[in-house]
Amino acid sequence: MKIKNFLISGLPQCGKTTLIKEVVSQLDIEKKGFFTEEIRENGERTGFKIVTLSGKQVILAHRNFASPYRVSRYAVSISNLENVAVKEIEQGLHGNFLIVIDEIGKMELFSEKFKETVIRAFDSKNRILGTILFKSNSFCDGIKKRNDTKLLLLTRENYCAVKQDLLQLLNQ
C-alpha cells in the first residue's frame, strides 16, 4: 500500500507545529486544514486557538472558558472545534487537497465528530499532513499503525532532517 499520510509526533514543545507550518509554507500544492497555536497573555500561556488555512481563527481552549471538557487547566470548546476545524477538513475532502491537521491530540479527541472526520480524511484519496499525540491512546495508536501512514518522531536534534524528509515526501 502506498504511503499517503504523514504524521509528526514528539514530546510537547519539540517544534511540531512550527515544523508543520514551515513545511506547509514551502509546498506549492492546494491545502486545507488548520494549525493549533498558543494564546499568550503577558508572556503566559492562557489557551489555544485554531487557525485555518482559509484564514478563520477561533479559540479551542482557554483557562477562562466554562466547559465540562478539560485538559489540565484549559477548558475545551467542542463547538468551536467542530464548527471551524472539522468544517475545514470536510471542505478539503471535496477536492484534491493536502489536508493539514495540527493536531490530533487530547483536546480534539473529546469530539466524536472530529474523530469521525479524521478517519474519513485518512480513508479518502487525499494526502494528510498532521501532528498526533505522542502518548499511547487507542484512537491515535490505530491511526499511527495504518499501512498508508508514515509516523515521524520529532526531536529538537532531528528537526532539520525531518523537515527535509517531509518536503521530499510531499513533493513527490
Give pLDDT, residue 97: 96
Please name every residue paired with 164 in a beta bridge, in sequence order, or none if there are none. none
Give the chain's domains with CATH numbers. 5-35+84-170 (3.40.50.300)
Give pLDDT, residue 12: 87
Model-level pTM?
A: 0.95
Give pLDDT, residue 85: 97
**Mean pLDDT per 10-residue segment, the chain (172 residues):** 93 93 94 96 95 96 94 96 97 96 96 98 97 96 97 96 95 82
Give pLDDT, residue 105: 95
Give pLDDT, residue 144: 97
